[in-house]
Amino acid sequence: MSLALDPGFFRQETFRDDFTFANSQEAIRRFPFPFDRDQYMYAVNIEQHMPGPEKHATHFPIDIDEHYVAEMADRERVLAEDPLRCQSLPHMITAEWDLLELLMTSMARDYPAWFALGREGDRWHWINRPMGIEEHFTFGDVATLPYGPMEYITRQCQGDFCLLDQRGDNLWLDSGIVTSQADWSLDFDLGMNFIEWHAPVPRAHDMGVFERALKFLLNLQLGRPIRRLNWTMTINPRLDTSPENYHRWGIDRTTVTPDNVGDKVHLRVELQALWRLPRSNAIVFSIRCYLIKMREVATVPKWARRLHRVLRDLPDDLADYKGLTNYRGMTVDWLSRHDDGAPTSPGFYPD
């Protein structure tokens, strides 16, 4: 059997060192722009994870795009350097298998040209053509896979993943693989509950956001996944902005100049989705990271206008928490050249 396929679709690019990452025209059009109005504040911004527009990042429950192969290579490097980025407490093994099933069935169903899954009882046969992987294994038997089930499948699926155990009216972060995070540590947060791991976030506790969100999640139903968008900004298209490596990448925030804003400054959007899992009753939380350069944002006039206004008016405590303080001014100035003051249409999508 040949695992070959059109090699042109998946970009050869890097998220470190020479930072060759960029978005195609198509990737810009499908970008999950996170602002549906000209201002931003924390809210319980949860909606059903229903298929979005054709080709958009939300069209399929698990989104595989042109950055897939390069992102998986970056994840492999992160894990090689720091195995603590993937951890799972022993009681989460059933949830790990649930996750493997969810990802394999979604990927094979929605991207049949790239992935295939054969199942005969517990004997499963997985094919991943873009990464050239073929595996025969026994569902439920960890000895038949080269890694634990969560690590095995998430080394082949874009996005970070957390598995949350539900007990005592709370959710517990007891398992996860986190290599493209916006400055938080799985190793540190492992074992915390929903309120504890959100502790550093300003304002939202007092606004009641987390209390209401938690209540909602505790009632999450099987087969009715939900999603939300979160955002921050990153200098250079670096996926691994971990606290672990902050002493290495933090300095990037001082390298922005008025001339390089368009290429250096990236909007970083997380498309977060949550599913109830069938066997374990755990919840999977996926954090799919999308990066876009200011220069790329500026190709969509509505987005450039809107991002200018959002960033300009963002409260200082949120800007500080997101780490924007060193370069916000320059970015706002740069974006202001793309804001003629015209009104923007409601909603996320380009005009």
Partner 1 sequence: MPEIKSRPKWGKLDPAKQASAHLVCAERGAIDAVARAFAGRPEVIGKTILVHVAEGDAGAPASLAGVAYHPLPSRATALTAFRAHLGRAKMGTQLHLAGSEAFLNEASALAHGCGVVGDGLTTELCGDPARRVQCVHCKGMMDDVSASPVACRHCGVNLMVRDHYSRRLGAFMGVCVDAEAPGDLPAAASF
* Interacting residues with partner 1 (CB under 8 A): 84, 185, 187-192, 195-200, 205-206, 243-251, 253-254, 326
> Does residue 322 interact with ligand HEM by CB under 6 A?
yes
9 binds, among partner 1, ligand HEM, none (CB under 5 to 8 A by kind): none
196 binds, among partner 1, ligand HEM, none (CB under 5 to 8 A by kind): partner 1
Which residue from 42, 60, 139, 349 is in contact with ligand HEM, where contact means CB under 6 A? 42
Q: Which of these segments, 15-23, 91-99, 113-121, 209-217, binds ligand HEM (CB under 6 A)?
A: 209-217
Nearest to 176 by CA among 288, 42, 86, 257: 86
251 binds, among ligand HEM, partner 1, none (CB under 5 to 8 A by kind): partner 1
> Which CB, 191 or 329, lies closer to partner 1?
191
Contact 232, 323 (CB under 8 A): yes
Q: Residues 228, 268, 279, 295: which is the catalytic one?
A: 228
Smallest distance from the beta carbon of 295 to partner 1, in angstroms? 24
Nearest to 267 by CA among 241, 299, 227, 235: 235
> Which CB, 213 or 273, lies closer to partner 1?
213
DSSP-assigned beta bridge partners for residue 115: 128
> Which CB, 106 or 166, lies closer to partner 1?
166
Contacting ligand HEM within 43-72 (CB under 6 A) = 44
Smallest distance from the beta carbon of 109 to partner 1, in angstroms? 37
Q: Phi first, then psi: give them for residue 301, nearest 5 degrees.
A: -55, -40
Q: How far is CA 7 from CA 11, 12, 69, 140, in A?
A: 9, 10, 10, 33
What is the C-alpha radius of gyration for the chain, rounded to an integer number of angstroms? 20
Tokens of 128: 């991943």
Which residue from 40, 197, 290, 303 is in contact with ligand HEM, where contact means CB under 6 A? 197
Query: What is the end-to-end Cα distance of the chain in Å, rounded?
Result: 45
228 is catalytic: yes
SS3 (DSSP) at 289: strand
Smallest distance from the beta carbon of 71 to partner 1, in angstroms? 24
- The HSE-up count of residue 283 (CA atoms within 13 Å, CB side) is 27
230 binds, among partner 1, ligand HEM, none (CB under 5 to 8 A by kind): ligand HEM
Most distant CA atoms of the chain, gap in Å? 61
197: Cβ–Cβ under 8 A, 6 or more apart, which residues? 173, 184, 189
Return the sign of the alpha-carbon dihedral for residues 34, 255, 320, 311.
Answer: negative
Tell me which residues are annotated as active site: 228
The residues of the shown chain that bind ligand HEM, judged by CB under 6 A, are: 42, 44, 162, 164, 171, 173, 184, 189, 197-198, 200-201, 204, 209, 213, 217, 228, 230, 232, 285, 321-322
